[in-house]
């Protein structure tokens, strides 16, 4: 066997094992959620008893999913709008202290999550946004902005200025050139930061724990409360069913947009 074939075989073996390490826990959670287990809603035989219990647990699964969706939508929308306009400004315009301001934005990524979380929670309560889904979305968006601005700045900087100049010569205004010419050109980077912010918001537990009450819980916070003990036994069937429901939307979204995600990571993240 040639060295090329050997290295290729090792590569495929390594990537295959890495893929299995990610897939096996998901498959285990799916199988466990429908398997019979004492102390769960699916005590005998395989079935969807845990999912039926999950649907009616507490305030109901639809409400928890709606809360998670609202938080994720706010986080993604704010992240996309602010990072796109901010990245465009850093890439195309010259203004005083531009480089210093850009470094300041990036420096936020070096501050520990917990160090910013407590002051932000106090601030949101002072603004009357405690127990607010929008408030949680705004806080989560703030943590996504430094990386997102960095991505979009590099994505816009990688575009030739001639592209924008040609649109202006053809009669487009600055806003029209931005929305119709430049934004479609950086679509992979937009999808990348959108996916990052969505996953961060969809899976968030810490911010929701501090800012939201039980009547306004997203699904990750509700899952923790589902781990009730019945005669000393944790209801793992209900918990794994919740994990599956929480994972499926993110899994489908990532598979649908992975070609944009991969292109965005390899272009906008390293050029500029």
CA distance 194 to 197: 5
Tell me what the pLDDT averaged over the chain comes to.
Answer: 84
Assigned token pair, 221: 């916070």
Cβ burial 228-243 (10 Å sphere, 16+ → b, else e)? eeeeeeebbbbbbbbb
The pLDDT tens digits for 88-118 are 989 888 888 888 999 888 888 888 877 888 8
Residues in the chain: 272
Q: pLDDT class for 261, splitting at 50, 70, 90?
A: low
Which H helix or E strand runs over 233? strand 233-234
Which H helix or E strand runs over 15? helix 3-34
* Residue 271: predicted pLDDT: 46
Count CB atoms within 10 A of the CB of residue 67. 22
Residues 6+ apart with CB under 8 A from 159: 182, 185, 186
Taking alpha carbons only, the member of 48, 5, 45, 21 closest to residue 240 is 48
Segment 249-263 shows an average pLDDT of 79
Assigned token pair, 148: 């997102």
* Residue 149: predicted pLDDT: 92
> Can you give the residue ranges of every domain in the chain?
35-268
* Residue 170: predicted pLDDT: 76
Q: Answer yes or no: CATH 1.10.3720.10 is held by domain 35-268.
A: yes
């Amino acid at each position: 066997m040639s060295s090329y074939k050997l290295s290729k075989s090792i590569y495929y073996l390594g990537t295959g094992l890495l893929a299995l390490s990610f897939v096996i826990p998901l498959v285990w959670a799916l199988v466990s959620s429908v398997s019979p287990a004492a102390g769960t809603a699916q005590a005998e035989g395989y079935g969807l008893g845990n999912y039926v219990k999950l649907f009616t647990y507490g305030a109901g699964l639809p409400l928890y999913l709606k809360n998670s969706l609202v938080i994720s939508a706010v986080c993604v929308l704010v992240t996309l709008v602010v990072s796109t306009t901010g990245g465009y400004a850093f890439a195309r315009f010259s203004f005083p202290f531009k480089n210093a301001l850009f470094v300041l934005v990036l420096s936020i990524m070096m501050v520990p999550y917990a160090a910013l979380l407590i002051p932000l929670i106090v601030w949101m309560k002072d603004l009357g946004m405690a127990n607010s889904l929008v408030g949680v979305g705004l806080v989560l968006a703030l943590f996504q902005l430094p990386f997102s601005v960095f991505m979009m700045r590099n994505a816009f900087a990688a575009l030739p200025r001639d592209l924008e100049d040609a649109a202006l010569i053809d009669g487009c205004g600055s806003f029209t050139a931005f929305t119709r010419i430049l934004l479609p050109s950086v679509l992979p980077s937009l999808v990348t930061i959108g996916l990052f912010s969505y996953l961060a918001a969809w899976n968030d537990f810490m911010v929701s724990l501090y800012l939201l009450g039980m009547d306004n819980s997203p699904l990750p916070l509700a899952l923790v409360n589902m781990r009730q003990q019945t005669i000393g036994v944790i209801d793992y069937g209900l918990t794994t069913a919740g994990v599956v429901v929480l994972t499926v939307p993110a899994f489908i979204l990532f598979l649908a947009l992975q070609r944009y995600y991969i292109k965005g990571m390899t272009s906008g993240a390293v050029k500029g």
